[in-house]
A and B are shown apart, each in its own frame.
Chain A
Amino acid sequence: VNYASLCFCQTAFVVDEVSTIVKEAVEGAIGGNAYQHNRVNQWTNNVVEQCLTQLSKLGKPFKYIVMMLAHVIFFHLTLSVPLNSNLHYHAEEWSWFADSLFMFLGQHHRWYDAHRSCTVRWENKSMYCIVSVFGLSI
């Protein structure tokens, strides 16, 4: 038995573990739903609550900050217009915007000690959401 790795897991911020928790929380709360303006509040609350309860159950010596951002996709991919160059441009535009949003969030985390934070990006056809978890050891 590798005791060194056991001890490490019990007191360390393991990114894989945390990102699994986040993904499950998002899938559970939002799942296959499309963007609905009057439900966004409830979804964000549910996701963040679920993440935090699961993280605190891990019992590690960390304080956590969970931040979530849910953004509606402006250009829907399922428009009933013939596929032409305009539609393609629009589709590229939103994904490019999404990528740059994710990129500067990602850069930010790399700067501030990547081992203690985790960012998960989840999307479906009508919205995407980005959840960041910061773990600060006490």
Chain B
Amino acid sequence: MDGSELRTNTYLIRPNYQHKFRVGVVEKCIREIQREQLSGVQYVSEEIPSLSLSLANSIKNRLKELGFNRYKLVVQVVIGEQRGEGMKMAARCFWDADTDSYAKDIYVNDSLFCVAAAFGIYYY
């Protein structure tokens, strides 16, 4: 948040429908970014940390452009090598179910898999 802008109080404790965290829209956005950045990419261990960080940053920036002004965003990206191993991911949240939500997508190619989850938490 910029300290330089003066923000007046809106006293909104619920988002308008247009500004709500819409799961379909966000899922589509995540899927596009994953396709763009990961198609044809091979798993090379040295490059994966920066790749996952750049993926998380792109998703975060794209979500900010979508206009979720009152939302705090948490983006988590996990990239792993595709070896036929077992992996289980679970998330549970303590939040306000009316206003907060999450979207996730899974991208798999023959050398890696990528799980990206974006959470949107309304800031009252």
Contact = CB atoms under 8 A, between A and B. Distances in A.
Contact of A67 (B56, B57, B117): B117
Contact of A108 (B45, B76, B85, B88): B76
A100 interface: yes
A67 B77 contact: no
Contacts of A67: 76, 89-91, 117
B123 A138 contact: yes
Contacts of B93: 52, 63-66
Contacts, number: 98
Given A96-B45, A97-B45, A108-B77, A56 B94 contact: yes
Interface residues of B, number: 36
A52 to B, nearest CB: 5
A112 to B, nearest CB: 7
Contacts of A35: 86
Interface size on A, as a range, is 35 or more
B17 interface: no
A118 interface: no
Looking at chain B's contact residues, the main secondary structure is: strand
Interface stretch (B1-9, B19-27, B47-55): B47-55
Contact of A63 (B86, B87, B117, B121): B121
Interface in A1-46: 35, 37, 40-41, 44-45
Interface in B48-79: 48-49, 52-53, 56-57, 72, 74-79
Contact of B87 (A51, A70, A108): A70
B63 to A, nearest CB: 13
13 contacts: A52-B94, A55-B94, A63-B93, A64-B94, A67-B117, A68-B89, A69-B87, A70-B88, A72-B86, A104-B53, A108-B52, A108-B56, A111-B57
Interface of A: 35, 37, 40-41, 44-45, 48-49, 51-52, 55-56, 63-72, 74, 96-97, 100-101, 103-105, 107-108, 111-112, 132, 134, 136, 138
Q: 7 tightest CB-CB pairs across the interface, nearest first?
A: A104-B49, A44-B90, A67-B91, A63-B95, A64-B94, A48-B92, A72-B86
